[in-house]
Chains A and B, each alone.
Chain A
Amino acid sequence: MAEPILEFDDVDIRYRTDGDDVRAVNGASFAIDEGDYFGLVGESGCGKSTIADSIVGGLDDNGEVVSGEIRFKGEQIQDYSESEFNENVRWKEVSVIPQSSMNSLDPVMKLSEQAVEMAKYHTDLSRPAALDRLRELFDVVGLSESRISDYPHQFSGGMQQRAIIAFALFLQPSLIIADEPTTALDVIMQDQIMDYINGLKDDWDVSMLLITHDISLVFENCDSMAVMHGGQIAETGTVDDVFDRPRHPYAILLQNAFPDVRFPDRELAVIDGHPPQLRDEVDFCTFADRCPWAEPACREGAPPATPVAGDDDHLAWCVRAGEMSELAANHLERSTESTSILEGGQ
């Protein structure tokens, strides 16, 4: 794999409030290689959407990258102004498939007008050329070309989500951030949409940052991934690494908490407690209070990035990462013991 297209290097992000600041992201480091699909998994409030927002300058007014570097194609972008983001990043380079497609399309603008507007601010495409391009993209995502002049409310949820994907492709960006792209959809529709998103890999030469709470979507669609908990990255690596050799307790337990339709009899892992409120200096592991294997060292400093099996691309931010294969042995065995009840596959 080539150069990373996006790198996070020890990034801290804070939201200023009247009281204590909220330290939404702490010491986050990961990299997305060019052409890779990268999954960022975590529960609500873990900071994954904040990370997505920081890449396109979409943080709320009170949000700020306070330290670390965010590099897009080698260029530092964490201190970009609004207009620099508009010039250099937004949509031409990085486009977004937002979480709530239903509310993301301007309700009083025809879809065609929204596309023409994008073309106007970022390209020299003429109006007819922009419309042609939109028709082409509608075709790609499986929408009828004749419907480009519809208003968003004339589309069903699944169709709006496809239109949003078409918009994301409009300027042929090099990175697409998909923030929970299918959360609002039923499972069959979700599968179809993920199929389109997956198909882009072959035809569009694009990288993807897929943000989701659903670890199975990441395992199915991504090349590499990171697991987040309480504003910290817990573990990052290829999906095979994280699935086969998870070494952060949260990454281990999260996988076992996830229902798997192949094994309806398996006991689901329970993760007690909830992540801490990130109001004070985060110089400890935010998972320590929920972790069955926590020791005093976990609360004495932010956990160090520990390469797993000497692989610098598979990192676990855990002081006990080295011991995990013994400590969590019974949790790690799980996939071999039972056999799938589904037909086919494997």
Chain B
Amino acid sequence: MSDGAPVLELRSLEKHFDTTSGITETIRNRLVGEGPKLVRAVDDLNLTLAENQVQGVIGESGCGKTTLLRTIIGLYDPTGGEMRFHGRPTSEFTKDEWKEFRRHVQIVFQDPFNSLDPKFSVRRTLAEPLEIHGIDYDRTDIEEMLESVGLTPASQYIQQFPNQLSGGEKQRVAIARALITEPDVILADEPASMLDVSTQAEILNLLNELTDEFGVSMVYISHDLSTVSYICDHINVMYLGRIVEKAPTRALLADPKHPYTQALIRSIPIPDPHYDREQATIGGEPGDPIDMPEGCRFKNRCPERMDVCDETPLDVAPDGDGDREVACHLYYDHEERAGAEPKPAASDGGERP
């Protein structure tokens, strides 16, 4: 399988939902000749996950990060674009390949209190995915896995049920369950956000160690930039279905380009009473995914708004830095670009029926 292709690659991935409610509205829309009302939960999204890489996706609630995760895992069919797993498009997958895919792409959910079956012992929780995928195992495999997520001694935990575990221990079990099928990719949905601070540190450190130890790649989604920065090599900032900026973690924190990223970073409280934080200046509420503005989706909250923001911005490398990309009109010369790239204001305006 390893042919140099990235483990997981998303190309112009789209997931739109039809929000037309009820039959009368559908008929009315047909009669008037309007298209259905779409929520562009994920829109024209590109992401490349290399081997051993940890990509963070951050954004406010409603930005589409959960939809993205569910689309990757196959809970939703993408409306458009392509997803490649080890270079092979998932749209061409056979049933067996999907099963294989599910073995190699595992998920850790946000809520450890609800993601474990209360009637399953720890042993059964870990054994179940192995049985589903027809992998031989014995008790030592499970014990070893428990030890590597820090549940030691494993023999003490193996017969316990979720209600006997603390929040942090539950999340460790959930992580062990994800790792036990030896996946290539872990999708983590804010796995630390519901835990207390002391436990949160524990889980973050654990994920950090394990991705190194098991050589697994990870997509880590969260709303909390300060925790993401501990885990991720790269950060993708998502706003209303689009990735507006992607960069290596340090570069992104030290020198955010997109006005939205700047606002996000400046809004994070700093645990230091002597530090005088420069506060964000944006106002308003997160945009409404149903009724999104044309062009740049952030423009209505943006302190740098210009006329050209009514056009969808291109993804460009700011200051010629090939490692990063930002979708903002501030960072490119429009005339030069217009000559070089025939592709007009991307997907937003054109596709509307």
Contact = CB atoms under 8 A, between A and B. Distances in A.
Interface string A248-262: 000001110111111
B265 A239 contact: no
Contacts of B202: 270
Contact of A342 (B254, B263, B273): B254
Interface string B225-252: 1110110000000000000000001100
B265 A270 contact: no
Interface in B125-166: 166
Contacts of B274: 240, 243, 346
Given A217-B269, A264-B249, A267-B205, A187 B279 contact: no
B270 A261 contact: yes
Contact of B271 (A43, A191, A219): A219
Given A191-B266, A259-B224, 15 more contacts: A186-B286, A188-B60, A188-B282, A189-B60, A189-B285, A216-B269, A220-B269, A243-B272, A262-B270, A268-B205, A268-B230, A269-B201, A270-B201, A270-B205, A345-B275
* Size category, A interface: 35 or more
A307 B217 CA distance: 49
Contacts of B272: 216, 219, 243, 260, 335
A291 to B, nearest CB: 12
B196 A264 contact: no
A6 to B, nearest CB: 22
Contacts of B269: 190-191, 194, 214, 216-217, 219-220
B254 to A, nearest CB: 5
B271 A255 contact: yes
B226 A260 contact: yes
A158 B198 contact: no
Specify which of A156, A195, A217, A220 lies most central, judged by the most chain B CB atoms within 10 Å of its CB.
A220
A271 to B, nearest CB: 4
A259 B278 contact: no
Contacts of B177: none
Q: Which 5 A-B pairs have the closest CB atoms?
A: A271-B198, A268-B201, A216-B271, A191-B267, A264-B229
Interface in B158-216: 166, 168, 196-202, 204-205
B73 interface: no
B138 to A, nearest CB: 30
Contacts of B225: 187, 261
Given A158-B285, A213-B197, A261-B268, A346 B276 contact: yes
Contacts of A345: 270, 275-278
A260 B271 contact: yes
Contacts of B227: 259
A217 B229 CA distance: 19
Contact of A257 (B200, B253, B264, B267): B200
A140 interface: no
B221 to A, nearest CB: 14
A260 B197 contact: no
Specify which of A215, A254, A259, A271 lies most central, judged by the most chain B CB atoms within 10 Å of its CB.
A259
A190 B285 CA distance: 11
B61 interface: yes
A313 B280 CA distance: 34
Interface of A: 43-44, 156, 158-159, 186-192, 194-195, 213-217, 219-220, 239-240, 243, 253-255, 257-262, 264, 267-271, 274, 335, 340-346
Nearest to B260: A188
Nearest to A214: B269
Contact of A253 (B196, B198, B230, B250): B198
B200 A342 contact: no
B285 A270 contact: no
B277 A187 contact: no
B282 A220 contact: no
B205 A220 contact: no
Nearest to B254: A341
Specify which of B263, B273, B280, B286 lies most central, judged by the most chain A CB atoms within 10 Å of its CB.
B273
A214 B279 CA distance: 18
A342 B201 CA distance: 21
Nearest to B231: A264
Contact of B265 (A240, A260, A268, A342): A342
Contact of A191 (B198, B249, B280): B280
Contacts of B198: 43, 253-254, 257, 269-271
A186 B61 contact: yes
B255 interface: yes
Nearest to A46: B196
A268 B205 CA distance: 7
A44 to B, nearest CB: 6
A194 B267 CA distance: 10
Nearest to A223: B273
Given A188-B60, A216-B269, A262-B270, A43 B197 contact: yes
A343 B278 CA distance: 9
Nearest to B251: A341
Contact of B253 (A264, A269, A271): A264
B223 interface: yes
